[in-house]
Structure 1
Amino acid sequence: MDYKDYYKALGVDKTATPEQIKKAYRKLARQHHPDVNPNDQGAEQKFKEINEANEVLSDPEKRKKYDQFGADWQRYQQQPGGGAGRGGQPGGGFDWSQYTQGQGGQGGGGNPFGEGEDFSDFFGSLFGNMGGGGGRRAGGTRPGAGGDYQAELEMSLEEAYHGGPRTITVNGKNLRLTIAPGVADGQTIRLRDQGGPGRNGGPNGALLITFRIRPDARYARTGDDLTQDVPVSMYKALLGGEQTVETLSGSVKIKLKPETANGTRLRLRGKGFPVYKKDGQFGDLYLRLTIALPQNLTEPEKELIQQLADLRAAE
């Protein structure tokens, strides 16, 4: 029985963190999934290998045992009559029974690394009885959860503000979902039972959807707050008056004080982004006023402005 290098199967180092293992597994699972590679026996075999590797390396106790076994494997190969597939009894005074799972005693002269009940024989020799049950199960391998699928959904800022029904296609299947208002760029939601099919009656995996919100030329978003630049005419800024502002929830009118300075910031409470899954709660909208100077002045306008300048100079 050949030693299986689970780290190599996932393309990670032996010092890989759980997050690195998880990331590598998901990438390879998407690449080699049978739904993506129909009638491809090579991809199917690779998919089984990476699932087996993930089954071990994602479980701290199994990984610890596997690492210990890997260190002893070369010693096993060198024992008289040992070695993979030779059928002999390893000797040398080393207790190999710690690695057998429900295979019975070693006195019968059989290979202590006999067939496993789950995944490959190699896996079964180490972990065949982990999780309870005692002997080999009738009917083959144990149930296992399907792999997770990942998808991205692109939306405009206004669509994220309002939420509502959307349709997403994953592995050729159209899935209709209702998005709660207020989702953020990079936010991921998890839909149970919408991922890969389970093994031997096990549960389906999940579908992980990550939202990508396109930048909006009108608003800058910080959490649930929005910032918006509002151009104001020079005359209104000097004399004061009403200014209409377009927000994502509709038009509002604000009052400007006389001699409003360029860059003045105003806060409109509750006019920002909806707080995700908290009905009736909203962030704030910050208005940054920019004074727009008049263009293409006529001669009479220039004369009036000059008169104003002369009056200011005489003070």
Structure 2
Amino acid sequence: MDYKDYYKVLGVDKSASTEQIKKAYRKLARQYHPDVNPNNAEAERKFKEVNEANEVLSDPEKRKKYDQFGADWQRYQQAGGARGGQPGGGFDWSQYTQGQGGDFGGSPFGDGADFSDFFSSLFGGMGGGRSAGGSRPGAGQDYQAEMELTLEDAYRGGPRMINVNGKSLRLTIQPGVADGQTIRLRDQGGPGRNGGPNGSLLITFRVAPDPRYARSGDDLTQDVPVSIYKAVLGGEQTVETLGGPVKIKLKPETANGTRLRLRGKGFPVYKQPGQFGDLYLRISLTLPQNLTEKELELFQQLAALRPNA
């Protein structure tokens, strides 16, 4: 059985105050929480280790016992250590387990507590009536919420308000959020249990489709209606983009369906200020309607010039 340095686990000095221990525990518990590290066995191991260290150091009685035992650890090892969960050699183990039921096997907190053999051997059954779901510190419940955005909202970002469980929160949306993207607001979920960290608020963005643009990652595609005259003769065309109007030049004889690329005129790249995707313009020719007799005559003349067209 190896000695566990709970102070080292929490990254605090042996002289750390209760508040310092509590602060260190909350920080590490959030860092290694299973919700933040899904399917990460190493993070899960560290999360359990941090909880065990806090279980001891946040309890004055356990901390005093642990500090006393730590000073005697070398003598304990010299006496032969614990074999099979029992004290070894001539070391007086009873001073640490007296009145605690002498229970050296398993977890003193029942199924699911998952404390180490070191903890169980040192504290035996002194859980003080605690159980895995009782007064043991634990993280609060995570809350879920959704926020509806237009494409322009997602493009520009900015401050928004959201109400969750009767509480109004202000958050700043980063430009470039995607439909279905979820952000985590730490400490805005359910309250922690017995000094444990609060849960998080998970907000999922729902970006409504926009009839003007098709989005693919950070790129946008936009249909641009162009008259047949301008397509044939060429010329300037003003295009309305999310970033404002842009003038483009059309070459003579621009075909229907032609794609033009405007670099950096697409969607902002999330959390990378100043970086944008591209905007693709798809030329869509429009035919004139309600032609006059003169216009029809001119079209007939053009058609006669190309009888095989």
Q: TM-score, length-normalised on structure 1?
A: 0.61
2:287 corresponds in structure 1 to 293
Mapping of residues 85-96 of structure 1, within 5 Å: none
Give the aligned CA root-mean-square deviation in angstroms.
3.4
1:184 aligns with 2:178: yes
2:256 corresponds in structure 1 to 262
2:102 to 100, 104, 109: 104
Q: How many residues align?
A: 216
**8 A Cα contact 1:264 1:288, kept in partner:** yes
Quickly say closer, same or farther: Cα 1:169–1:156, change in 2 above 3 A. same
Mapping of residues 119-158 of structure 1, within 5 Å: 121-123=110-112, 127=114, 132=119, 134-135=122-123, 136-137=126-127, 140=130, 141-158=135-152
Q: Which amino acid aligns with 1:154?
A: E
1:215 corresponds in structure 2 to 209
Shift of 1:132: 3.6
Cα shift readout 1:28-70 (whole Å, capped 9, x = no counterpart): xxxxxxxxxxxxxxxxxxxxxxxxxxxxxx9689xxxxxxxxx
Q: Which amino acid aligns with 1:288?
A: R
2:169 corresponds in structure 1 to 175
Shift of 1:137: 4.5
Shift of 1:131: 8.6
CA distance in 2, matches of 1:227, 1:248: 12
CA distance in 1, matches of 2:300, 2:294: 10
1:205 to 195, 199, 204: 199
CA distance in 1, matches of 2:257, 2:201: 46
CA distance in 2, matches of 1:123, 1:274: 46
**8 A Cα contact 2:108 2:127, kept in partner:** no
CA distance in 2, matches of 1:123, 1:249: 55
2:266 corresponds in structure 1 to 272
CA distance in 2, matches of 1:105, 1:146: 31
2:155 corresponds in structure 1 to 161
Shift of 1:172: 1.1
Quickly say closer, same or farther: Cα 1:105–1:139, change in 2 above 3 A. closer
Structure 1: tracts of 5 or more residues without a match: 1-21, 24-57, 62-96, 107-111
Shift of 1:311: 1.5
**8 A Cα contact 1:116 1:123, kept in partner:** no
**Secondary structure of residue in 2 paired with 1:313:** coil
Q: Which amino acid aligns with 1:164?
A: G
Q: TM-score, length-normalised on structure 2?
A: 0.62
Quickly say closer, same or farther: Cα 1:203–1:270, change in 2 above 3 A. same
CA distance in 2, matches of 1:252, 1:105: 78
1:239 to 201, 218, 233: 233
Mapping of residues 225-236 of structure 1, within 5 Å: 225-236=219-230
Structure 2: tracts of 5 or more residues without a match: 1-33, 36-42, 47-84, 86-99
CA distance in 2, matches of 1:158, 1:233: 28
CA distance in 2, matches of 1:288, 1:263: 6
Report the identity percentage.
69
Cα shift readout 1:271-294 (whole Å, capped 9, x = no counterpart): 000000111100000000011011
Cα shift readout 1:187-211 (whole Å, capped 9, x = no counterpart): 1111110111100111101111111
Q: Which amino acid aligns with 2:102?
A: G
Q: Which amino acid aligns with 1:185?
A: D
Shift of 1:300: 1.2
Shift of 1:104: 2.4
Quickly say closer, same or farther: Cα 1:205–1:132, change in 2 above 3 A. farther
Shift of 1:313: 2.1
Quickly say closer, same or farther: Cα 1:256–1:192, change in 2 above 3 A. same
**Secondary structure of residue in 1 paired with 2:203:** strand
Q: Which amino acid aligns with 2:159?
A: P
